[in-house]
Amino acid sequence: MDSRLEKIANVLQQQAGATVEESHGEVRLYLGADKIVDTLLYLRDAQEFSLLSVLSAIDFWPQDHPRFHVVYVMNSLTQNLTLQVRVPLDGEAPRIPTVTGVFATANWRERELLDMFGIEVEGHPDPRRILMPETWDGHPLRRDYPLGYEEPQFTFNYKEIDLRKPYVKE
């Protein structure tokens, strides 16, 4: 681990109770949802991590405790450092506080969390769906969301699939 990231990780272990993991040269910090705003403020102001390049989630279904990890990837352009901060959330009514006060770019990405994963972002200034219609039922990036796909046609199965099409008369 880079010595600069090691110092930051040590501070966040003491201040925010973060746990640290390194894998394939990437440093990950895991912390509670109640610590995310203060942690990102510290990284932005004290450590020059001025770019929030990724804000998304990972669904670990059927695991439920935690089911989701909300992932923040922070970049320090002046120090050429990258740090990943993860917040594990249980599957039953997942919630996380908004970080739009720290990074304005979090606005639309937090709306995607609600829309695609069903993760509620508390205190968000505009908590509307952003990609799916308001009447849409469900959250498409959840692993338990039904796919409802159609099998592709090839030369070997063309006739079999063609018979299931709605234009075929019985």
- CATH number for 3-162 (one of 3.40.50.150, 3.30.365.10, 3.50.50.60, 3.30.460.80): it is 3.30.460.80
**pLDDT value, residue 25:** 85
**The total number of residues written for the chain in this structure:** 170
Phi and psi (nearest 5°) for 6? -65, -40
Strands, DSSP E only, in the chain? Answer: 19-23, 26-30, 51-59, 68-76, 81-89, 95-97, 120-122
The string of pLDDT tens digits covering residues 138-159 is 899 999 887 776 667 788 888 8
Residue 170 has pLDDT above 70, yes or no: no
Instruction: Give the mean pLDDT of 89-101.
Output: 95
The predicted model scores a pTM of 0.84
**pLDDT value, residue 156:** 83
The string of pLDDT tens digits covering residues 25-53 is 899 999 999 999 999 999 999 999 999 99
Contact predicate 70/95, CB 8 Å: no
Domain boundaries, the chain: 3-162
Instruction: Give the mean pLDDT of 124-130.
Output: 92
**Which residue reads 């919630």 in tokens?**
95
Phi and psi (nearest 5°) for 119? -90, 115
**pLDDT value, residue 154:** 81
Instruction: Give the mean pLDDT of 109-138.
Output: 93
For the chain, give the percent of residues with pLDDT over 90: 74
| Cβ partners under 8 Å of residue 98, min gap 6 | 37, 106, 110, 121, 122, 123, 124, 125
What's the rounded Cα separation, in Å, for the pair 58 and 81?
Answer: 23
For CA atoms 118, 119, 123, 124, the dihedral sign is: negative
